[in-house]
Amino acid sequence: MKNRLLTVDDSKTVRILVKKAFKNCELDILEATNGVEGLSVASKEQPDLVLLDVTMPVMDGVEMLTRLKGDANTKQIPVIMLTAEGGRENVLKIAKLGIRDYIVKPFEEEVLVEKVGRVIDLNKREVHKTILDKVKVLLVEDKPAIVDAIKDGLSHLPWEFTAATKAYEGIDMYTDTDFDLVLMSLSLPNDAAFEVIRKMRSKRHGVPIIGMVVKIDSERQHKALQAGFDATVTKPIDLVELETRACRVMGVDTSPKYFQFKDKYMVIKVPQVCSMARISEMQSFLSPKVTEAVDSGYKMVVLDASESDDMDVNLIKFILDVFAACKEISLNCVIVGNEKLRKEGQGFEETKNWKILSSIEEVEVS
Amino acid sequence: MTNVISIPDDQVQTMVLNGLTDVFTTMLQGEIKLVSCKSLMDVAEGTAPLVGVEETLVVGNVGFAGAISGMVYIAMPESLAKEITGSMLGMDEDELEGEHEMINDAIGEITNMSAGAYKNQMSDLGYSCRLTIPSIIRGKYFVVEAAKAAFRQLYLFNYLGQPLSLELIMKMNDTFTD
């Protein structure tokens, strides 16, 4: 049986961050938004660990902790504080009430996972799939044009699609095959998608399911998330967005999309559109990949921005981060970009002195 | 210069900066830069959080009360609030379209952590106090009129090429007993 962790925090942001931190663990996450709710869930569900905030409306964390430890039914449940209240005096006072650990916000995911892992077994799942690996996708969609568009649009990935045009076909296929991902229309006749997800979840937990819904139908989007869909994408479907979201819910390592090891150097491939989410994704890989490059004997990093047309602030910031990371570890770094990018680069104080080569071939010659 | 809380202003500034830098580095993997700092002690009328920004502002507020009491206001343009939320939660821009509640919650939490990081340093100096629950103000062209305080300072920052301000107001409570 999976361990259960109860997060008690009035901030939805923190509850999402907690869920995100444990996404690769076999762990059920329960939620409560204040001390009263927290006590009720703790008493009813008997979680294996409570992560507890201090400052909350209705009942704060200190009172909840006092009551939890004063109740014979719940006093054995271990508690880790996760709070912005971190003055020495406050920490000592709370520690006396009986806690296993104390984490002060802001917190790093790794620290949270490590401290929780000291108290309960996390059963971490091996994340072995990368974006270059085969992924089995079940597509439950009654519109053949959408099925074709998704298959064509994601044909650059080694993903294998099986399509079901009817709800019952989808359930049968899901029962017979171990899929890595389900993409399901929320517009199936008779609102069948909600019944299908219920049946799928009752047969097998843990397979991520994404709902596809018409953009303006926000009511159905909310209903889908409540019904247990891991994410939704809106129709007309943006295939880049679908790919990003699918990788995220499956926990697929997307770093090979951006970081590629060639014979003599590591290439950092900058996408055409550098949204903040993309930059954050690339930044999260930067330090380990640069370290991996040095460990593997590479001496140079090529930042390939030739597909990018826009020297915007996100891209400039990312390039500066790459320079800093390379400098710290004594790696050479060169930029490759197109003519438009080179011209735009002349216009900024931070970028006007950058030498931007026109192609990878030029890098090899130089 | 020393304020009546007996802590030099530059030490307060260092604590504010340390707290904000820690929050932005840890939660957003980003670098926030201090642009300017000015005292608002002699400003009689109210002050606008970010002068010249035409966009709707999102302002997170968290109070602290105890041996010292006060408020921390963190103000930013709505577009920056959206970027920060997306970056922190790994969400795309379109996922956050119209999600005021989610953005408010995330900015409230950033303010909570920043105010907490500052007030924890104050607590360790002997000024014990507790945080209040965060709240959010959204709007344009509004001013903050603070009650008489011992210390009122406005710090302007740059994050991702956009302005962000932190206003700190605090006063000493002589009669406080914990």
Burial class for B125, CB neighbours closer than 10 Å (0-12, 13-18, 19+): middle
Residue of chain B whose Cα is closest to the Cα of A85: B116
Residues near A70 by Cβ (< 8 Å), separated by ≥ 6?
none
Flag if A84 and B117 touch (Cβ within 8 Å): yes
Decide if A87 touches B, using CB distance below 8 A: yes
Residues near A114 by Cβ (< 8 Å), separated by ≥ 6?
none
| Res B103 pLDDT > 90 | yes
Flag if A20 and B124 touch (Cβ within 8 Å): no
Residue-level pLDDT at B176 = 47
Contacts of B178 in chain A (CB under 8 A): 89
| Res B1 pLDDT > 60 | no
Residue-level pLDDT at B145 = 75
Closest alpha carbon to B152 in B36, B12, B21, B51: B12
Residues of chain A with pLDDT under 70: 1, 124-128, 205, 366
Burial class for B107, CB neighbours closer than 10 Å (0-12, 13-18, 19+): buried
Residue of chain A whose Cα is closest to the Cα of B90: A277
Flag if A84 and B22 touch (Cβ within 8 Å): no
Question: Nearest Cβ partner of B112 from A84, A244, A277?
Answer: A84
Decide if A24 touches B, using CB distance below 8 A: no
Give the SS3 label for residue A297. coil
Closest alpha carbon to B6 in B125, B152, B168, B130: B125
Cα–Cα dist A335/A26, whole Å: 42
Decide if A219 touches B, using CB distance below 8 A: no
DSSP A148-202: HHHHHHTTTS-EEEEEESSHHHHHHHHHHS--SEEEEETT-GGGHHHHHHHHHHH
Flag if B92 and A88 touch (Cβ within 8 Å): no
Could you tell me how many helices (H) and strands (E) chain B has, helices first?
3, 7
Give the SS3 label for residue A292. helix
Q: Alpha helices, DSSP H only, in A183-312?
A: 192-203, 218-227, 239-250, 255-258, 276-295
Residue-level pLDDT at A356 = 84
pLDDT classification of B97: cutoffs 50, 70, 90: confident
Binding-face residues of A in 163-192 toward B, CB within 8 A: none
Contacts of A107 in chain B (CB under 8 A): 26
- Is residue A281 within 8 A of residue A312, CB to CB? The reply is no
Q: Residue type at A280?
A: S
Per-residue pLDDT reduced to its tens digit, A182-220 = 999 999 998 899 999 988 887 776 789 999 988 777 788
- Is residue A172 within 8 A of residue A200, CB to CB? The reply is no
Closest alpha carbon to B93 in A321, A274, A237: A274
Contacts of A83 in chain B (CB under 8 A): 116
Q: Which residues of B touch A (CB under 8 A)?
A: 22-23, 26-27, 29, 83, 85-94, 98, 101-102, 105-106, 108-109, 112-113, 115-117, 119-120, 122-124, 128-134, 160-161, 178
Cα–Cα dist A59/A349, whole Å: 52
Residue-level pLDDT at A128 = 62
Pairing of strands A209-214, A181-185: parallel
Give the residue from B25, B29, B122, B162 with the most A CB atoms within 10 Å of its CB, the best one to mutate: B29
Contacts of B85 in chain A (CB under 8 A): 13
Q: Alpha helices, DSSP H only, in A22-60?
A: 35-45
Flag if B123 and A87 touch (Cβ within 8 Å): yes
Question: Could you report the predicted ipTM of this complex, rounded to two decimals?
Answer: 0.90
Residue-level pLDDT at B177 = 45
Decide if A320 touches B, using CB distance below 8 A: no
Flag if A16 and B89 touch (Cβ within 8 Å): yes
Decide if A55 touches B, using CB distance below 8 A: yes
Flag if B87 and A276 touch (Cβ within 8 Å): yes
- Tell me the average pLDDT of chain B: 86
Flag if A248 and B90 touch (Cβ within 8 Å): yes
Cα–Cα dist B5/B174, whole Å: 11
Decide if A248 touches B, using CB distance below 8 A: yes
| Res B131 pLDDT > 70 | yes
Flag if B113 and A20 touch (Cβ within 8 Å): no
Give the residue from A81, A234, A276, A322 with the most B CB atoms within 10 Å of its CB, the best one to mutate: A276
Q: Residue type at A282?
A: M
- Is residue A337 within 8 A of residue A309, CB to CB? The reply is no
- Tell me the average pLDDT of chain A: 88
Contacts of A284 in chain B (CB under 8 A): 29
Flag if B87 and A14 touch (Cβ within 8 Å): no
Flag if B128 and A90 touch (Cβ within 8 Å): yes
Count interface pairs A-B at CB distance under 8 A: 108
Contacts of B18 in chain A (CB under 8 A): none
